[in-house]
Structure 1
C-alpha cells in the first residue's frame, strides 16, 4: 500500500498484479508505505477504510480528499499466477504448495473453494459492499498505471523492474474447467473489463 494523500490518491496493492514492482518504483515518494506483513501490504479497500483512512483523516486528509487506485488482473490469468507463485521451491512442504498440481487441478479446487486465493471483487469494496476503488488499471497495461501515478506525482514515469516473478509452468486447462473458472469469476471479469 502506497499513500500519496497530498497528491490525491492511495495505491492499494492487489496481490499478483505487479504491485511489488510499482512499490519499488514509487516508494521513495510515498507519504506512507506498508510492505509487511503481506496482509497489510495487500490490504483490501475495506481494511484500508477501517485502519488507515482514520489515521490520514487525523493528519488532515479526510477520506473524500483522495481516491483509491489499484491494478486488476484478468481472473483466469490471476488464478494462473497464484498457481505458479505457490509452486516455488520456497513453498514446498507447506499446505498451499501447488508444485504437484496441474493448473486444471488447481483451478478446479479454487472453484470448489478448497483453495482460497481471495476475491478481486471484495478487494475493491468497503464494509457495506460499495465499490470504493475509483480507478482500476489492467495488469496487462501496467504502463498506464505507472504513467497515471507519475503524472499525479509530477515526475517522469519510471521503468518497472521485474520483481517477485513466479516460475514458468505450462498452463493446461480443459474447456470444462476453464468454463467453470470463468463462471466462478464472472463478477471479477466485469471489473477487469471496466479497468483502464
Structure 2
C-alpha cells in the first residue's frame, strides 16, 4: 500500500498484478509505503483507510484517489501457481513445480486454503457491505491504458521529452509519450509453467464456481470510475 498526502492518492497492491513495478513508479511521491508482503504490502482498502485516517494529520482516506489492479480470476490463479514453481520455492510447502494446476487448486483453495487464493475483490471492498472502497480498479488486461488514466487524474509528471538527462526518477520503470504509458517494465515476473490455453476444463469450471464473486465484481466495477 502506498499513500501520498501531497498528490492525494492511495494505491492498493493486489497480488500478481504488477504491483512491484507500479510501486517503483509511485514511491517517490509517497509519504507512507508498505513494500514488503510481511509488513502489509497487500493490505485491503479497509485496512488502508484505518491506517491513513489514524496517522495522516491533514488528509483522510476519503479525500484521496484510491486505486488498484485486478485481473481475470483464471489468469490470476495461473500466476500464483506459476510463481511458486520457481527454484527458490523447492523444499517449501508452497512449491508447485511438482504438482499439476488441478492439484494446486484442490490444495490451495479447498484442502488448505491459502491467503494468496483469497478472492481478489475482497481487497477493494468494505467487509460489511461488500461495496467498493476504491475509486478505480485498473483491469490488468489493459494495464498501461488504465494506469495512464489514473496518472492523468493525479497529474503525475509522466511526460517523456526524449532527453535522457531530464527524465525524472519516476520514468526509470516505464517509457511514456504524451502522458501515456506505452511499456511498463515488469518486475518480479512469474515463470510460464502453464498457460491459459492448456488449462483443463475441470479447472476452468472450478475457478468459475469458486471465484464467481470475483467475476461479478470484475464485470460490474473494473475499468470504471467509481
CA–CA separation in structure 2 for the residues paired with 1:68 and 1:109: 33
Does the 8 Å CA contact 1:9/1:66 hold for their aligned counterparts? yes
1:126 corresponds to: 126
CA–CA separation in structure 2 for the residues paired with 1:90 and 1:185: 28
Matched, 1:31 2:36: no
- Structure with bigger gyration radius: 2
2:212 corresponds to: 186
Does the 8 Å CA contact 1:53/1:63 hold for their aligned counterparts? yes
Which runs of no fewer than 5 residues in structure 2 stay unpaired?
160-170, 175-183
CA–CA separation in structure 2 for the residues paired with 1:61 and 1:146: 23
Does the 8 Å CA contact 2:13/2:43 hold for their aligned counterparts? yes
CA–CA separation in structure 2 for the residues paired with 1:154 and 1:51: 24
Give the TM-score taking structure 2 as reference length. 0.78
Q: How does 1:67-86 map to 2 (within 5 A)?
A: 67-86=65-84
Q: How does 1:74-153 map to 2 (within 5 A)?
A: 74-116=72-114, 117=116, 118-129=118-129, 130-151=131-152, 152-153=154-155
1:195 corresponds to: 222
Aligned CA distance change for structure 1 residues 36 and 103 (closer, same or farther; 3 Å): same
CA–CA separation in structure 2 for the residues paired with 1:38 and 1:68: 22
Between the two proteins, the alignment pairs up a number of residues equal to: 194
Shift of 1:67: 3.2
Does the 8 Å CA contact 2:17/2:70 hold for their aligned counterparts? yes
2:164 corresponds to: none
1:120-169 Cα distance to aligned partner (Å, 9 max, x none): 12111234344212210111111123213431133126422120011111
1:54 corresponds to: 54
Matched, 1:15 2:18: no
2:178 corresponds to: none
Aligned CA distance change for structure 1 residues 49 and 92 (closer, same or farther; 3 Å): same
Shift of 1:26: 2.1
Aligned CA distance change for structure 1 residues 91 and 53 (closer, same or farther; 3 Å): farther
Which runs of no fewer than 5 residues in structure 1 stay unpaired?
none
Shift of 1:14: 0.5
Shift of 1:63: 2.7
CA–CA separation in structure 2 for the residues paired with 1:74 and 1:10: 22
2:43 corresponds to: 43
1:173 corresponds to: 199
CA–CA separation in structure 2 for the residues paired with 1:64 and 1:48: 11
Aligned CA distance change for structure 1 residues 37 and 120 (closer, same or farther; 3 Å): closer
Give the TM-score taking structure 1 as reference length. 0.89
The CA RMSD measured in Å over matched residues stands at: 1.9
Equivalent position SS for 1:136: strand
